[in-house]
Each structure stands twice: as structure tokens, then as C-alpha cells.
Amino acid sequence: MPETPIETKKVAAFFDLDNTLLRGSSSFLFGKAAFDRKFLGRRDIWRFAWQQFRFIKRGESAGMMKHIEDRALGLVAGHRADEMQQMVIDVYDEYIAPKLWPETVRLAKDHIAKGREVWIVTASPIEMAQHIANQLGLTGGLGTIVHRDENGILTGQLDGRPLHGALKAKAIKQLAKERGISLKKSYAYSDSFNDLPMLGRVGHPVAVNPDKQLLKYAELTGWKILDFKKREIRQAAKAKRKAAREL
């Protein structure tokens, strides 16, 4: 079957989740929800909180990601897959929605309005990526797949490897092939130098709240840089409360 000409291919935008669409770590917020439901002890939540603080201040590191992912996987081991799906819903409503960067969400929805596909690409569980994408009206989500046994019980192991670093670039390349997307005409957004492979795959890479390494690279290469502040989240929440009172 001949390849689709680039002029007729779709355009897409790929968004990292943690510190790009969301301020902080979705794994930490998942852990906080687990603590509230007594799946986690107080000592564990303080460890998660410290990682969250470091993540926001310094950006991610391979060791930090491994620690957070291992702890999050430990939380779901032995639970039913449908329990995790409900946890994802609860995490979104209670913790994630209030911490979404308003400007990044606006960018994602602008791409949708222009007829482009928009995908969340994250190391977080695929259920998280897909649910957030559904809530925001985006095309879909790619994420890490947590293994479940024949009875639908989560084992705490992964099917494959976490969707992180170079594997994100591989995933969007495969998605582009399946859906007729031109990566050359597409966009990618991330805060992390670890996502350089994904950013480098597209024609329009954008550094969002970049860590020091990505900031330096983006400045040298002339990539677009966006820097959002915490006050924007507070302002959005204030506006939402005001609108609710006026109803």
C-alpha cells in the first residue's frame, strides 16, 4: 500500500503530562488519593510529597521517575483493574483537574479546534492518559501498561517498559504510521530533557516549563519556550469559583 502523501497527512500535537499539562507528578497525586483511601501509610505519602517538591523545583531524573513509578505500581498490585479505573476517575476529579495548567490546556484545545489530533503521551498508566484526554476532549492518550492476570487482577508488573524517554518517540512514530500523521508538520510539548527524542521527532517542538537542560537546549536550537506560573492555576480556580457563585 503506497504511503500517504505528506500534503494530505494529518497534523497532531503530542503533550507530555507531568509538569506540562499538569503542575507536578500525576503519580504523586495518585498516591495521595490512595492515602486518602487507606491504601498508603503516612510515611509513604511524605516520601511522595518530597519527590513532588523536588520534581517541581528541579524537573525529573531517571532515578526519581523509577522511585515514583515503583511505589505507584506497588499501590495497585493485588487490586482489580476496575478498582484502578475508578481510582483514576477519583484522582482526576479531586486532584488533577485543579492542577492543570490553564494555558497548556488552552493550547491543546486550540489544536483540536483547528482539526488536529491531540494525544497525551506519558509514563503514567495508560488509563490515566486516556481518562484525562477524554475529560479534556482530546483525541486519546498513550501511557504505560500495567499487567493484569486472567482474573483482571493487577500484578504490579508492567507489560513492556514505562513509556519514557526514547520510547515516547517510538510510540508517536508508530501512532503516526497507523493514523496517517505527518510528524514533520506536527507539534510536541514537554518540560523534560528526557523527552528530547519525542520533541526532536516533530517539526514544531515546544519546551513547556522546561528543566535546566531542556531550557539550555531549546535556547540553543531556537525552539519555542513557554513558562507558566503557579498563580495562573490559582487565577483559573478563582474565576471558576466566581462563575459558580453567579449561577
Kindly report, residue by residue over 101-113, the tens digit of the pLDDT: 999 999 999 999 9
Collapsing DSSP states into helix, strand and coil, what is residue 60? coil
Catalytic residue of the set 16, 191, 195, 211: 16
pLDDT score at 10: 96
16 is a catalytic site residue? yes
Name residues of the chain where pLDDT drops below 70.
1-7, 31-81, 147-148, 152, 154-161, 229-244, 246-247
Q: Is 84 left (phi over 0), alpha (psi -120 to 50) or beta?
A: alpha
Query: What is the number of alpha carbons within 13 Å of residue 170 lying toward its C-beta?
Result: 8
Q: Which helix (H) or strand (E) holds 37?
A: none
C-alpha cell at 59: 524537573
pLDDT score at 166: 92
162 CB neighbour count, 10 Å cutoff: 19
Phi, psi angle pair for 148, to nearest 5°? -130, 145
Q: Looking at domain 6-246, which CATH architecture does it have?
A: 3-Layer(aba) Sandwich (3.40)
pLDDT score at 153: 72
Distance CA 242, CA 244 (A): 5
Q: Residue 15 forms beta bridges with which residues?
A: 120, 189
Tens-digit pLDDT profile for residues 73-94: 555 556 666 777 777 787 888 8
82 is a catalytic site residue? no
Catalytic residue of the set 18, 191, 195, 211: 18
**Longest CA–CA separation in the chain, Å:** 58
- Residues whose CB is less than 8 angstroms from the CB of residue 67 and which lie 6 or more positions away in sequence, other chains included: 51
Collapsing DSSP states into helix, strand and coil, what is residue 91? helix
Nearest to 100 by CA among 177, 15, 213, 195: 15
